[in-house]
Structure 1
Amino acid sequence: MKPEISIAGRQIGQDFAPYIIAELSANHNGKLETALKIIEEAAKAGADAVKLQTYRPDTITLDSDADEFKIKGGLWDGRTLYELYEEAHMPWEWHKPLFEHAQKIGIPIFSSPFDTTAVDLLEDLNAPAYKIASFEAVDLPLIRYVAATGKPMIISTGMADAEEIQEAITAAREGGCKQLAILHCVSGYPAPAEDYNLRTIGDMIERFGLVTGLSDHTLDNTTAIASVVLGASIIEKHFTLDRNGGGPDDSFSLEPADLTALCRDSKTAWKALGQVDYGRKSSEQGNAQFRRSLYFVKDMKAGDVITEDCVRSVRPGYGLAPKYLDRVIGQVVVCDVCANEPAKTCSFVLS
């Protein structure tokens, strides 16, 4: 039996269409109105859920400019961790209006908590699920605390090796989590497609036996859609109103038209998987006339012997298959036949 979980009544697993999460992250750019608009656009695009990140700079790092607290290279080069998270964090007083707005327009909303106080806040808002961010996958006490809520949990696995993933899973189970999913992830921002090694998804499904998906930081939808073919049941992508908005995460996020395409195309890929089936498909039924089959090419009377010049392999395909040609030649017709009639066994006895 394939594993599955449920979030806000939506079943998630390989037997269901991919579950698309629009990650709001820091793309609010300091404006509550922008965050509200992102939720609206995610719902319009067809996303299954919106996800926030719940932390304060002092719950995720220390206010230090020591060398190890400075970011080297990449999008945020030269900034301290505290500076980045001060700019990027979602003010806690925004959470209630964001949850209320999402409920009003009918899209589930949940978050990634980064410490226990964030979990407590989200519990007060009755979050339907929790996401553990990749860098927190090694924070086993946090995972156990989240698990104790009894809510579904999704764990991203960026930078975690197989042993660390198993430790996170064990902590979740020990903490009481009954509905658990994991996401293959590359913690690069953005991440090149060639780093994703999507074949890992199949191994994760077999190795850990959980609903498995993809947290995708590539710049387009190709990797995410390909992951569906390999068994991904969840796709998470960062989402923004404008990729050129200047925020910390804008440049590697999807815009509304991109998210719409992801929601549509990932479901198309899932439908195309279907099942093992060598039979004629419904869309092929009208195309029998384009197959070849055996047709009489001259008039014949009952008792005549079928010779090579009496039948041919032609289109359409309503007669016997061409593979029977050698067996048809030499047979005696049992009734009168006319040229351009299909050769069928009712016209002769096929020995």
Structure 2
Amino acid sequence: MNSVIHIGHRAIGADHTPFIIAEMSGNHNQSLERAFEIVDAAAEAGAHALKLQTYTADTITLNVRNKDFLIEDKNSLWDGSNLHDLYQKAYTPWEWHKPIMERAEKHGMLCFSSPFDESAVDFLESLNVPAYKIASFENNHLPLIEKVAKTGKPMIISTGMATLSDIEEAVKTARAAGCKDLILLKCTSTYPASPNNTNVLAIPHLKQMFDCQIGLSDHTMGVGVSVAAVAHGATVVEKHFTLNRADGGVDSAFSLEPAELKLLVVESERAWQSLGSVQYGPTAAEQKSLMFKRSVYFSEDVKAGEVLTVDNLRVVRPGFGLHPRFYQNLIGKKARIAIEKGTPAAWALIE
């Protein structure tokens, strides 16, 4: 496994802050100006990359009106929609890709895309994208995975709905076609997803199974699930992003707003910083706090030869005297010299 993967100027791996991807999807609402505003807001929030989706209604489905092409799910945001109509509404015009990418570049933010068929890969290659993302619904599209792998660029594959054998087939296809830099994203393909069906414990298992970096494509509300994923080893977090959920749009209901995306950037980095290593005992930063531990002190003036009792010895703060484990052993012993109240107990003072 490559412990570090580079996408453009950005290093991705366990020793680097989580790579945060803002997914625009169709939240531009067919306005290029709004798309630019989304780019600006994502950069301002601190996202490391903006992701697009590259398809047309005709490259992703058929313009057919029978029942197979109708979404019938009362729990779906898109219930009652015809597939062709939905994708016609959601797609990002291909002529917008270059100006959107240039806008992102001005902010120092990476921009790449999810191709949904082979023609989209050819188009994105003409724009020299730094990486590719395979969406969950395409993770069984082996010819597409093979074509992307042959570009030699880093590939991110979402694993939504995929069985372990499905993932294995996708990974084998990618690697056989030349993919060396592979990242898998744990994903739950419900929109929105709920925390209790996200199963971030799969992240370390996926890492063990496929010997590659693992991230999370997160469709839950808020940032808590993404932060938990980082705590379980996710090096990448992808979230849908919009300017304002109230503005509507095909994915707006489960997209982060700018303040939330900024919070994700900050809190995921804090989660990553907290991982550290397995360590016990005081850290270097805790050394000064040792004084607030307990230890044995003389609580009264004691004469030479005087017997030590519960009246002249106490376990108190600060922690510069003998460890409290020795308190009972000291009771009944005699002072070797005269000792002033407030002196830390030490064996040199005891007969």
* Structure-1-length-normalised TM-score: 0.95
Aligned to 1:42: 42
Amino acid at match of 2:318: P
Aligned to 2:217: 215
Partners of 2:24 and 2:35 in 1: how far apart?
7
Structure 1 residues 298-342: Cα deviation after superposition (integer angstroms, max 9, x where no partner) = 223445453443311122222111101123234444443211111
Amino acid at match of 2:30: G
**1:104 CA displacement:** 1.1
- Within 5 Å, give how 1:117-128 maps onto structure 2: 117-128=119-130
CA contact (8 A) 2:2 2:181 kept: no
Aligned to 1:79: 81
Runs of 4+ in 1 over 4 A off after TM superposition: 301-305
The SS at the match of 1:151 is coil
Aligned to 2:29: 29
Aligned to 1:68: 68
Partners of 1:272 and 1:88 in 2: how far apart?
39
The SS at the match of 2:300 is coil
The SS at the match of 2:245 is coil
Structure 1 residues 206-239: Cα deviation after superposition (integer angstroms, max 9, x where no partner) = 1111100110111111111111111111110000
Structure 1 residue runs without a partner (length 5+) = none
The SS at the match of 2:247 is coil
The SS at the match of 1:232 is coil
Partners of 2:98 and 2:290 in 1: how far apart?
60
Aligned to 2:9: 9
CA contact (8 A) 2:193 2:219 kept: yes
Q: Tell which deviates more after alignment, 317-326 or 253-262.
A: 317-326
Amino acid at match of 2:227: I
**1:279 CA displacement:** 1.8
**1:295 CA displacement:** 0.5
**1:13 CA displacement:** 2.0
Q: Does 1:294 align with 2:296?
A: yes
Structure 1 residues 184-204: Cα deviation after superposition (integer angstroms, max 9, x where no partner) = 101111112111122111211
Amino acid at match of 1:200: A
Partners of 1:311 and 1:205 in 2: how far apart?
56
Q: Does 1:134 align with 2:142?
A: no
Q: How many residues align?
A: 349
Aligned to 1:195: 197
CA contact (8 A) 1:2 1:14 kept: no
CA contact (8 A) 1:3 1:209 kept: no
Amino acid at match of 2:70: K
Aligned to 2:258: 256
**1:157 CA displacement:** 0.6
Structure 1 residues 46-97: Cα deviation after superposition (integer angstroms, max 9, x where no partner) = 1111100011111111111111011112111111111011111110100111
- Within 5 Å, give how 1:212-251 maps onto structure 2: 212-251=214-253
Partners of 1:105 and 1:308 in 2: how far apart?
69
Structure 2 residue runs without a partner (length 5+) = none
The SS at the match of 1:244 is helix
Q: Tell which deviates more after alignment, 187-196 or 3-12.
A: 3-12
* Structure-2-length-normalised TM-score: 0.95
Q: Tell which deviates more after alignment, 280-289 or 30-39.
A: 280-289
State the Cα RMSD in Å: 1.7
Aligned to 2:185: 183
